């Protein structure tokens, strides 16, 4: 791909990444619940909202990976080592963010009737 195409993909992906992260944050904020039992009960009451947040989280992870590849395509001609470092950091971000929903899936499973 050309540098211009990579730049367009990176820009669009970054905007999508921000929109997904904001929507995920706005869906997942709520009153703090003390204790594990109360948290599981709250998750069980709002199971559809939790599922929406999980999907948004996974889409955000995919956007981070797409952003990593497109930014690497833009910066590899200037400095290959720096481009590889940025790629590694973005891939790490996507992978680490994908691990978080697993615990939430477990809590969702525990809270089902």
Q: Please choose, from the candidates 51, 53, 50, the residue with its C-alpha nearest in 3D space to the C-alpha of residue 20.
A: 53
C-beta separation of 69 from 87 below 8 A: yes
Report the share of the chain in percent with pLDDT over 70.
93
Give the total number of structural domains in the chain.
1
Q: pLDDT by residue (tens digit) across 86-95?
A: 999 999 999 9
| CA atoms 70, 76, 79, 80: torsion sign | positive
Q: How confident is the model at residue 32 (pLDDT cuts 50, 70, 90)?
A: low
Query: The tokens 């929903």 sit on which residue?
Result: 101
Query: The tokens 């540098």 sit on which residue?
Result: 3
Q: Please choose, from the candidates 40, 60, 61, the residue with its C-alpha nearest in 3D space to the C-alpha of residue 50.
A: 40
Instruction: Compute the CA torsion angle 9, 19, 27, 110 (nearest 10 deg).
Output: 10
Q: pLDDT by residue (tens digit) across 59-76?
A: 999 999 999 999 999 999
Q: Is the pLDDT of residue 112 over 80?
A: no
- Domain interval for residue 81: 3-111
């Amino acid at each position: 791909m050309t540098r211009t195409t990579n730049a367009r993909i990176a820009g669009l992906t970054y905007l999508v990444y921000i929109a997904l992260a904001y929507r995920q944050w706005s869906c997942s904020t709520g009153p703090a619940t003390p204790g594990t039992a109360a948290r599981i009960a709250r998750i069980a009451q709002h199971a559809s909202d939790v599922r929406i947040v999980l999907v948004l989280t996974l889409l955000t992870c995919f956007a981070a990976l797409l952003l990593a590849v497109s930014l690497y395509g833009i910066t590899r001609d200037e400095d290959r080592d720096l481009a590889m470092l940025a790629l590694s950091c973005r891939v790490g971000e996507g992978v680490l963010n994908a691990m978080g929903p697993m615990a939430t899936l477990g809590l969702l499973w525990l809270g089902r009737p």
